[in-house]
Amino acid sequence: MKRLIRCQYRATMKPEINEIAFSQAADKSKEEARYAIKNDKVLTCGLFRYKRMIFLYMEFIIDDKQPIIDDPSIWFPQLTEFLCKWPEMDKENEWVEMVPVFWFDLPVNIELWKRKQNPDKRCGRIAVLYPDKLLSYICHHQAIAQEGLLKGDRYQSIAVHENILFSYFETPRDREVVNIKRVDEKSYKIDKWEKTDPFSHFYHFPEANGENFMIISTIFDIG
């Protein structure tokens, strides 16, 4: 049986890399993603950047009879030489899997999840939480997702690593507006979140023009 899982990853680029060589490696990685999509291994993929921070969004098509290969270093080995290593419990990796904290929908069925139309854009955006506000943000957004009543664009997701949030979304954002429960009821959990002064949770990038999240550059996207 095949199923779909969504994963977000964070990486950090080494200082003073060769930008031309990195661009060439990214082009090769896009071709690897295209091949994986053609062979029904991946449904959607996007690579995004802000300065030295790199974020990767992937939708893996998983066959339960085969082992899950969800290590971006295996999928995109061309990028490895440009990335720093993150220390983990018993090893070091270039990519850290981020923890999902919010979504409007879940890919419970591959055929139903497939886009009826290709999006105009696949986008990434980031936010930085103040450390003392991290648990507040996570707890409220998990409560909203578990309640399942708040409506929004079905392909959006938000994940966290340290105090960095990465959000994947597609435009137009009003093309498929759903909630998990598929009922038209008021979300009470969003009211609780809005009473916490959401704006106070975020460090605001100067170039974000007052927004909590800032859209970042797309290196490549494909689906």
Give the pLDDT confidence of 67-107 residue by residue, as tens digits. 666 789 999 999 999 999 988 777 788 999 999 999 999 99
Give the pLDDT confidence of 20-44 residue by residue, as tens digits. 999 999 999 999 999 999 998 999 9
Over residues 184-199, mean pLDDT: 95
- So what's the pLDDT on residue 69? 67
β-strands 217-222, 157-161 pairing: unpaired
What does the block give as tokens for 81? 């030489």
- So what's the pLDDT on residue 186? 93
Task: Provide the residue ranges of all domains of the chain, joining segments of one domain with +.
Answer: 2-222
From CA 125, how far away is CA 185, in angstroms rounded?
Answer: 28
Give the pLDDT confidence of 142-173 residue by residue, as tens digits. 999 999 999 999 999 999 999 999 999 999 98
Helix (H) / strand (E) element for 60: namely strand 53-63
CATH for 2-222 is: 3.30.70
Q: DSSP strand E in 111-222: where?
A: 121-129, 152-153, 157-161, 164-171, 177-178, 202-203, 214-215, 217-222
109 falls in which pLDDT band (50, 70, 90)? confident
- So what's the pLDDT on residue 89? 73
